[in-house]
Structure 1
């Protein structure tokens, strides 16, 4: 059959089967619709753009989220909602994407409750993140997961300046973006049974910076709101985390706005605040800090009845705080995490030549000292990194090594998180490394578009479109509908099964069920890493362990507190 006819027929099938459904939650009646999954054509129910908090605008701008009001009339949740919270546009410079009125859920369920049966299903909650400045949770659909009989809820939350600017040092409004997530989880806890979801089996799942945000919840009382966790390419020990100066950020933002004629942060427009928020740190500050300096990030709050995050990771993981050792964790990373971060170098490898004379480096540590980039210590660290990654020198021919170096910077915090939890005898932990390359590696494809080169491996976020239906790729999924032996189709179904089996049982390959693969929990021996590729297989953490040991040696020699005290050229 001609491909265009396949596309037309599937649209007709979906349209014909759509009809309204109603669910009553605490706020009132919600009207949803029906859809059909793209690969298997299974019917499911969708409720789009459901508010879980009041709009954080006007008097609620830069405030903690507030419980939503009840509505008098049925709430229409039939129209697809792909909205996002206000953020800088990732393509168009000086432009914004999304809106401040953004605290909404999309809810997808394969079955609504029946009067004659009570068979609640596991719930998966999805939050997307990219570089702590972007989030597009609602462009990801539930089809592949729902084909495996679970519910999916996608969540938007405030990020950047609107999520983490602390306007008043004396009040309790802080970490609003994290508190949005907690508010959404509380809403799910109260209402998900009305959608046939089991509130005792909630798995939170995040990618990139969203995974880092979610891992923070382990240190809070909110960890009781979920039973399992999936972290993809992100974890608590991000070098950008807990590095901020709230007063400096507020003052700099206010100064930037004042130069444009706005004397009051609260009254400035969304566009002006986003523009002003992108000019908080300068290049010299970045060089001297040796980490990604990202403003408006989570902060440690003073303890109060409204606080959420009141303890540092160092204190929390010191063993003085009891972890929930019964919570299973699925965590992983991709083989080439940094591909989307080094796009200018991919398209212009000659840029690497500028590192020949002066190698400006970054380190992956979440704590420790920092050095003036003109100091002797800085130069010694640079030489050690070059010896490890660029033994033959740095030139435009070093692109592959440069991608490995920058990817290791992103893998190290995730691997440190894994090692830390293993040492603390945390619950079962299943670890993967995604190395597959197919038609749905959207991050890699977009990063390399127009570049005349080949890069092995998968970029950060490349696994997403094999787990969740990426709306921009919809037509490509339609073409797979009858291609059951296509390797992309096979991987989509395999990954959906792994992820949903984990949500159901706490194990991606539960005993007593038919599985092509056996994926055991990781141990302190560094075994049982699921390498996901053309032929997925279990491997050892050999490469990751080597990288971890190198960066630990750099930390011990130059960045831990004892080392900082021994040098005299730090800032």
Structure 2
């Protein structure tokens, strides 16, 4: 994870997996930010370097993991956030059938709006200008200018693209590469690849949490210098900020962006305005538009056009200590089950320690679920066997709750809001 911009293999611990002794965990480092994803939209700087790093690492693992006691026939890719999108993007390559047994995408898919842009040309020239490479007319000149720049300046310059807190911190992302690029990683949008049957036919598991948008929305609860919550700023800046919040396509015209922003506000808030009292409706907007809808679109395409098993779960067990509290700078806020509340039970993080008793139980069950996914055809969480979505008219998924799990069938992926959470602290501003 890390919005294509930050994060490394040092971030998350592997104790939950390694203590059981059933799998080998291999972490992959790859280029991020402008070094990993800046693209001029042609064969001069085609982009997707971070994904190409990942692919080289996967190939290396396939060729060498047996020397470390691993089984090269049971390699499973697992990622979180943009790591989840990365997993899914690799499955857009047919030859992945020869490299991996399957993939698990947690809170991120190739169909998430933040996963792929049609081109990075405009952003590349905008970025170069902010770094002092001004009045450039060709990609070659841009590349020459950036190559003369100290690496620290090239990377840290992303701060010039931030428009709201760390809004647009994931400005650089995978792109559709020019057809004349050498060994392109991505030449069409993933939904097209899936529908055409050109994706790898291996088992894939996707997930989201009931309030997946917490990471993004919690920032709105921080207080400005005037003491008011930042969500109030959206009253006057919504059309300006929404395109960055929701990764609108770069090629959209101003009128298209404004029109879509108005529709989003109407859909989730009606005629109400942005305020602390309406925060949970805004959080739901982030959850659906950035995460849940992407999972639903991918599952729908895979179940209709794919020949391999496709599974899903929704997780609803809010953490007592979460990153949302850190982002909002409010220690006593409980905003629901947010992004990572399941992932950080598989891969440990100091911020989440110590785990509650029920979280320790869930941790063991989630790790065992991943082990079963790698080992066998059928897998489960506790006693709930994951149903396959292939050819099914309605979505089949597992709902994982604090004390139980259940198999669900639904026409649309459920948009669940936890009802047992204390929400009054938000009204106390």
Residue 345 of structure 2 is aligned to residue 466 of structure 1 = yes
Equivalent of residue 340 in structure 1, options 192, 205, 215: 215
Unaligned runs of 5+ in 2: 135-141, 417-429
Residue 79 of structure 2 is aligned to residue 206 of structure 1 = yes
Cα 1:425–1:489 change in 2 (3 A) is same
Judge conservation of contact 2:319–2:337 (CA < 8 Å) in 1. Answer: no
Aligned equivalents of 1:386 and 1:304: distance in 2?
39
Larger RCO (CA under 8 A, 6+ residues apart): 2
Report what 1:431 is aligned to: 312
Give CA-to-partner distance per residue, 1:338-382, whole Å, 9 cap, x none: 211123322347444444567534596876973525x8x945x55
Give CA-to-partner distance per residue, 1:212-270, whole Å, 9 cap, x none: 1221112225523211000011111232344354443443333333379x983113222
Aligned equivalents of 2:173 and 2:301: distance in 1?
26
Residue 112 of structure 2 is aligned to residue 235 of structure 1 = no
Equivalences for 1:377-526 in 2 at 5 Å? 378=258, 381-382=260-261, 384-391=263-270, 393-394=272-273, 395-410=275-290, 411-439=292-320, 442-450=322-330, 453-455=333-335, 457-470=336-349, 472=350, 476=354, 486-509=357-380, 515-522=382-389, 523-526=392-395
Report what 1:279 is aligned to: 160
Give CA-to-partner distance per residue, 1:70-107, whole Å, 9 cap, x none: xxxxxxxxxxxxxxxxxxxxxxxxxxxxxxxxxxxxxx
Aligned equivalents of 2:246 and 2:300: distance in 1?
15
Report what 2:92 is aligned to: 219
Cα 1:301–1:508 change in 2 (3 A) is farther
Cα 1:507–1:134 change in 2 (3 A) is farther
- The DSSP-based 3-state class of the residue aligned with 1:200 is coil
Equivalent of residue 137 in structure 1, options 1, 4, 9: 9
- The DSSP-based 3-state class of the residue aligned with 2:383 is coil
Cα 1:196–1:301 change in 2 (3 A) is farther
Judge conservation of contact 2:268–2:282 (CA < 8 Å) in 1. Answer: yes
Cα 1:355–1:308 change in 2 (3 A) is closer
Larger Rg: 1
Structure holding more strand per residue: 1
Report what 2:138 is aligned to: none
Unaligned runs of 5+ in 1: 1-128, 481-485, 548-571
Cα 1:421–1:367 change in 2 (3 A) is farther
Judge conservation of contact 1:236–1:313 (CA < 8 Å) in 2. Answer: yes
Residue 407 of structure 2 is aligned to residue 538 of structure 1 = yes
Cα 1:490–1:282 change in 2 (3 A) is closer
- The DSSP-based 3-state class of the residue aligned with 2:91 is helix
Judge conservation of contact 1:158–1:176 (CA < 8 Å) in 2. Answer: yes
Cα 1:240–1:149 change in 2 (3 A) is closer
Judge conservation of contact 1:280–1:295 (CA < 8 Å) in 2. Answer: no
Structure holding more helix per residue: 2
Residue 185 of structure 2 is aligned to residue 308 of structure 1 = yes
Equivalences for 1:13-92 in 2 at 5 Å? none
RMSD: 3.5
